[in-house]
Copies of this chain bind each other. A is one copy, B any other.
Amino acid sequence: MKLLGLDIGGANIKTAFSGVDGLIQGSCYFPIWERKHELRPFLGRVVEEFKPERVALTMTAELSDAFSNKREGVNFIVDSLEGCFNGRILVSSTDGVFVSPKEAREEYMKVASANWVAISQYAAKRYDSGVLVDVGSTTTDIIPFSEGLIVPEGRTDLERLQSGELLYTGALRTNLATIADSVPVRGVETGVSSEFFALTADVYRVLGDIQEEDYVCDTPDERGKSTKECMARIARVVCADTLMLDDEEIRDIACYLKDNQLGLVRRGMEKIADRWGLDKAFTCGSGSFIAEKAACKAGLEIHRLEMNTASAMLNLLRE
The interface of chain A, by Cβ under 8 A from chain B, is 10, 33, 63, 65-66, 68-71, 109, 113, 138, 156-158, 161-162, 164, 166-170, 174-175, 177-178, 181, 185, 188-197, 220-221, 223, 232-233, 236, 238-244
User: Which B residue's beta carbon lies closest to that of A175?
Assistant: B194
Given known pairs A195-B168, A239-B113, the reply for A190 and B158 (CB within 8 Å) is yes
User: Which B residue's beta carbon lies closest to that of A183?
Assistant: B161
Q: Are A167 and B191 in contact, CB atoms less than 8 angstroms apart?
A: yes
Contacts of A244 in B (CB 8 A): 70, 109, 156, 158
Give bound CA distance, A222 to B196, whole Å.
17
User: Which B residue's beta carbon lies closest to that of A60?
Assistant: B239
Nearest CB of chain B from residue A309's CB, rounded to whole Å: 17
Copies of this chain, how many? 2
Contacts of A241 in B (CB 8 A): 68-70
User: Which B residue's beta carbon lies closest to that of A229?
Assistant: B68
Q: Which of A138, A193, A197, A241 has the most CB of B within 10 A?
A: A241
Give bound CA distance, A221 to B191, whole Å.
27
Nearest CB of chain B from residue A225's CB, rounded to whole Å: 14
Give bound CA distance, A177 to B192, whole Å.
13
Contacts of A188 in B (CB 8 A): 162
- Could you list 13 examples of A-B contacts with CB < 8 Å? A68-B241, A69-B241, A69-B243, A70-B243, A158-B238, A162-B188, A162-B189, A166-B239, A174-B194, A175-B196, A177-B177, A178-B181, A178-B194
Contacts of A236 in B (CB 8 A): 63, 65
Contacts of A185 in B (CB 8 A): 158, 162
Contacts of A71 in B (CB 8 A): 243
Q: Are A158 and B239 in contact, CB atoms less than 8 angstroms apart?
A: yes
- Given A65-B197, A70-B241, 12 more A-B residue pairs with CB atoms under 8 Å apart are A65-B223, A65-B236, A69-B232, A161-B191, A161-B192, A161-B239, A166-B239, A168-B194, A175-B175, A175-B194, A175-B196, A178-B181
Give bound CA distance, A175 to B199, whole Å.
14
User: Which B residue's beta carbon lies closest to that of A71?
Assistant: B243
Contacts of A181 in B (CB 8 A): 178
